[in-house]
Amino acid sequence: MRPFDFQNRFSRNLLVLLVVCTFIVVSVSKSKNKEKDSRECKRNNGDDDDDDDSKTLSGDKLLNYLSSKGPYRFDGKNDKQEEYLPFKECKATKIWYFGRHGTRNPGKKDTIRMEKLLPSIRDKIVSAHDACQGQLSKKQVKKLKEWAMTEDVTLENESNLVKQGAKELIGIGKRYRKRFPHLFHNDSSPKIHIKSTKSQRTIASSLAFAQGAFDKSASDVSETIFDPPIKSDPVLKFYENCQKWAEQVDDNPSAYSELTNFESSTIMNHTISQVSDKLGFIDEGLTLEEVTIIYTTCAFETAWKNGKASAWCAAFSKEDLQVMAYREDLEYFWKDGYGHEVNYEQACVPIQDLLEYFRNKTHMTTVRAYFSHSGATLKMIARLGLFEDKISLTSAGFREVKNSYKWRTSLIDMMGTNLAFTLYECKNRPDPEIGFFFQEKPTKISGCDNKWHCPFNQFQDALSNKIGNCDFNMTCSL
Ligand SMILES: *[C@@H]1O[C@H](CO)[C@@H](O)[C@H](O)[C@H]1NC(C)=O
Ligand SMILES: *[C@@H]1O[C@H](CO)[C@@H](O)[C@H](O)[C@H]1NC(C)=O
Ligand SMILES: *[C@@H]1O[C@H](CO)[C@@H](O)[C@H](O)[C@H]1NC(C)=O
Ligand SMILES: *[C@@H]1O[C@H](CO)[C@@H](O)[C@H](O)[C@H]1NC(C)=O
Ligand SMILES: *[C@@H]1O[C@H](CO)[C@@H](O)[C@H](O)[C@H]1NC(C)=O
């Protein structure tokens, strides 16, 4: 072997080695570049993959902004039995319960919008993310990529009570029986009266409540305790018989001008563009309708999963959710709340039913429970003077009140929302005592001088003064 040859072979080998090395270096640096790309992508995104939901609200913080579609969320875990008695020597003799149905399916309009809009929004979010646009984390996008309409969400099932909703009502029934066992002792006793409006969701809610209250399966609850539902029930759905309310409020766009102003305000526009940016809709932003259906789906799905955040909630920051919830609060304020007198004046009807029931010593009913809708409970809340702000909610007022206002439907109008009054006979006290519970908790009420309980006569006088003779026809005639 000649040195030349050796050298030749050596340099050939060297060349091969060099080629191999270059290949390795190039491919390593290529893959490094790729990594760098995605890291740059990530830097734009601002979110670390592992630390996913850091900017997305979850738990109570999320539930505080889901308005009327949020789940019921009082589990009574910290209940103390004695909290439900005004004085030790008292015994409950009657209970009057008025509640909204539990968590349900979306109605017709929302079902159609979900089916029509969400799949293409989902696909655009995924392709935007692949192109390094938007600020969602990998995990958040993955959840959205896997998202599909919930099976049960169909037009056929629109507005129906879902399993989670039945669970909510079973829980409420159970806890009320635990608090007042002697009032709920017999599910075929003529002392129990349960009534609902004529919708699947309220009928099913009343059955679930009875199931919990009498610890029976749905098929075993006696039918005798249910009064037959009637259309436009004068007590449970009084507002459907109120012509003045229909004409001046419900069907009157000018009654909601604060809402429409807010919907085209800079604040709302800012939220729409924030959400569009976050989801990667760079060239063409989302519309208000699209952002709304994302918010509504976030709320419904979170309710169905017992408070576990829906993938769609990732679209919103806390500030965005505040804006979306305020918009709902504005709507309900003007439609059912303090916004217009006729909204709550007509709600004297169920309150009169309560007073008559408690006043009447001749009938022996121990439980009167009603299952109705947001449209009834909110009007009653306003009639009773609860959660009233010093000033009306307006479009321009958002920044000023956003951290302090009381009319928050996320807290006072969630699925399963309930008001209840209890009448007590107390030893050594000549007058019966009345107690008030909101969402199952003893709650201060102005009719009782801002205590949760007071002598029944005091409460009755305070309300009668306000209600007068409750002339529904006069209140509601044009
Ligand atoms: C939806 O409809 C299907 C088929 O009729 C039924 O099996 C299911 O129980 C319904 N779900 C709800 C929540 O109404
Ligand atoms: C429940 O009430 C019904 C109807 O009044 C009565 O026939 C039945 O004996 C009662 N059951 C119990 C366990 O008290
Ligand atoms: C908000 O956006 C809508 C639709 O693009 C527009 O009509 C409206 O003028 C905007 N509002 C403000 C205050 O800029
Ligand atoms: C009291 O209740 C009974 C039984 O429901 C009823 O017949 C009677 O009219 C009521 N009395 C008053 C004053 O409302
Ligand atoms: C209210 O109006 C309805 C329908 O017009 C009538 O049937 C009812 O008797 C009226 N009630 C009172 C208290 O005037």
Mean of pLDDT values over 30-56:
48
User: Band of the pLDDT at 4, cuts 50, 70, 90?
Assistant: very low
Spatial contact of 136 and 277, defined as CB atoms under 8 Å apart? no
Ligand closest in space to the Cα of 363: 4
Residue 317 confidence (pLDDT): 96
Q: Is the CB of 266 under 6 A from ligand 3?
A: yes
Ligand closest in space to the Cα of 224: 2
* Nearest atom of ligand 4 to the alpha carbon of 356: 14
Per-residue pLDDT reduced to its tens digit, 212-236: 999 999 999 999 999 999 999 999 9
Per-residue pLDDT reduced to its tens digit, 20-36: 545 544 454 444 444 43
Ligand 5 centroid from CA 473, angstroms: 6
DSSP, collapsed to helix, strand or coil, labels residue 364 as: coil
Query: What is the DSSP-derived secondary structure letter of residue 159?
Result: T
| Any domain includes 394 | yes
Residue 127 confidence (pLDDT): 96
| Any domain includes 391 | yes
Read out DSSP for 214-274? HT--GGGS-GGGBPPP-TT-TTTSGGGG-HHHIIIIIT-GGGGHHHHHHHTSHHHHHHHHH
Instruction: Pick the residue whose CA is nearest to atom 1 on ligand 4.
Output: 360
Ligand 1 pocket: which of 150, 151, 157, 160 to mutate (most atoms within 8 A of CB): 157
Residue 55 confidence (pLDDT): 64
Spatial contact of 84 and 180, defined as CB atoms under 8 Å apart? yes
Residue 75 confidence (pLDDT): 85
Residue 464 confidence (pLDDT): 79
Q: Is the pLDDT of residue 101 over 70?
A: yes
User: Band of the pLDDT at 47, cuts 50, 70, 90?
Assistant: very low
Residue ranges making up the domain that contains 452: 76-476
Residue 362 confidence (pLDDT): 85
**What type of residue is 37?**
D
Structure tokens at 184: 């709920």
User: Band of the pLDDT at 80, cuts 50, 70, 90?
Assistant: confident
Which of these ranges, 22-26, 70-74, 268-272, 442-446, has the smallest mean pLDDT?
22-26
Q: Is the pLDDT of residue 82 over 50?
A: yes
Residue 474 confidence (pLDDT): 94
Q: Is the CB of 64 under 6 A from ligand 2?
A: no
| Any domain includes 365 | yes
User: Band of the pLDDT at 177, cuts 50, 70, 90?
Assistant: very high
Ligand 2 centroid from CA 445, angstroms: 36
CATH at 379:
3.40.50.1240
| Any domain includes 16 | no
Mean of pLDDT values over 109-123:
98
| Any domain includes 434 | yes
d(CA 316, CA 294): 9
**Phi and psi angles of residue 239, each rounded to the nearest 5 degrees, phi first:** -65, -20
Identify which of 228, 226, 193 has the alpha carbon closest to the alpha carbon of residue 353. Answer: 193
What Rg do the C-alpha atoms of the chain give, in angstroms? Answer: 29
d(CA 33, CA 207): 62
Mean of pLDDT values over 6-12:
54
| Any domain includes 56 | no
Q: Is the CB of 287 under 6 A from ligand 3?
A: no
Spatial contact of 184 and 192, defined as CB atoms under 8 Å apart? yes
- Numbers of helices and strands, H then E, in the chain: 18, 7
**Phi and psi angles of residue 101, each rounded to the nearest 5 degrees, phi first:** -60, 165
Q: Is the pLDDT of residue 144 over 60?
A: yes
Residue 35 confidence (pLDDT): 41
| Any domain includes 301 | yes
Identify which of 415, 320, 409, 404 has the alpha carbon closest to the alpha carbon of residue 67. Answer: 409
Residue 23 confidence (pLDDT): 52
Lining residues, ligand 4, CB within 6 Å: 356, 360, 362-363
Instruction: Pick the residue whose CA is nearest to atom 12 on ligand 1.
Output: 157
Q: Is the pLDDT of residue 306 over 70?
A: yes
Q: Is the pLDDT of residue 37 over 50?
A: no
Give, in order, the Cα–Cα distances in Å from 411 to each of 46, 65, 140, 443: 32, 8, 27, 14
Work out how many domains the chain is built from and give that number.
Answer: 1
Q: Indicate the average pLDDT of the chain.
A: 90
Q: How many angstroms separate the most distant Cα atoms in the chain?
A: 126
User: Band of the pLDDT at 466, cuts 50, 70, 90?
Assistant: low
Mean of pLDDT values over 85-111:
97
Mean of pLDDT values over 148-177:
96
| Any domain includes 7 | no
Which of these ranges, 15-24, 368-377, 440-449, has the smallest mean pLDDT?
15-24
